[in-house]
Structure 1
Amino acid sequence: MNRIMAIGHDVVDVGAFGDQLRQPGSRLSELFSARERRQACSLASVKNDGQALHLAVRWAGKESVLKAWCAALGHRPVPYGIDDFPWPQVEIIDDSLGRPGVYLTKELNDLLLSSLGICGDVHWLISLSHDGSVASAVVLLGLDDPGFSDS
């Protein structure tokens, strides 16, 4: 990442989020990809805590992605709002070492690049945290420089 374009941050009340997940007829879990749900379930089992905690922190990550995208647009039109954003197309997934990452479907990534007027690629950095009843995420959206190598 050569240039930071925008930052996004979000905080989620884990208890309220868990209550929403458990409400009869709630479609909140459908806003996560199957991989996110599987990973949250696995982490909850390993850490002996609730799946809602692991989904809540990923929800904070997803909201942070949308906020960073909107911030990067500046005064340009925003392609999505909170009610029509394709939430399952943004995955907040840990890699094999437990490091969280942001992964967009190709379709959504192409729309992101187009909306920002970028002929290249962007890079996401994310930090997730939870303590007690609060889950938080910070996301940086950066522009990749094709001439830059981090090796």
Structure 2
Amino acid sequence: MTAVNLVMAGTVGVLYGTGFTLLLSRSLMRVLIGVVVLGHGTNLLLQLAGGPPGRAPILGSAPAESFTDPLPQALALTAIVITFALTTFLLALGYRSYVLVGHDEVQDDVEDRRIARQKAPSVPLEDDDDADEPDPLARAERTDDDVEAAATGREEP
């Protein structure tokens, strides 16, 4: 049994953390870079799981104990191809979005905000004696136009 190199395990952890952090951003280029970093982290993890390098698994050339498992290497090659294809697709998607919108930032969806507002409690959970509004329901009742105006950044009439 072989021991895992802690530096390599830490590097895999940093790559995964960085990749997931970049995936959660609003810029499509950062999402693309996050996918690439996650792909590199996966390749490194597969190579780390394969153990230390050894002899090629060819019968008759070395004892069976010194063979290297070829499966992690084959999985790493597959992961490289999949990451390349996904990167190409995301590049095309980002370019198309830039051509249509003029920037690569993902915008809020008005319908998602409307659904989130409907699931929110309509009245406060506790009584506010210091509230400026006399009726707490007046604050909770918002029309769809108000929600859309708030989501798009327009001023309410």
Q: Under TM normalisation by the shorter chain, which class is it?
A: under 0.3
TM-score normalised by structure 1 residue count: 0.24
Computing the radius of gyration from Cα coordinates, the structure with the larger value is 2
Structure showing the higher helix proportion among its residues: 2
Structure showing the higher strand proportion among its residues: 1
Structure with bigger RCO (C-alpha 8 Å, 6+ apart): 1
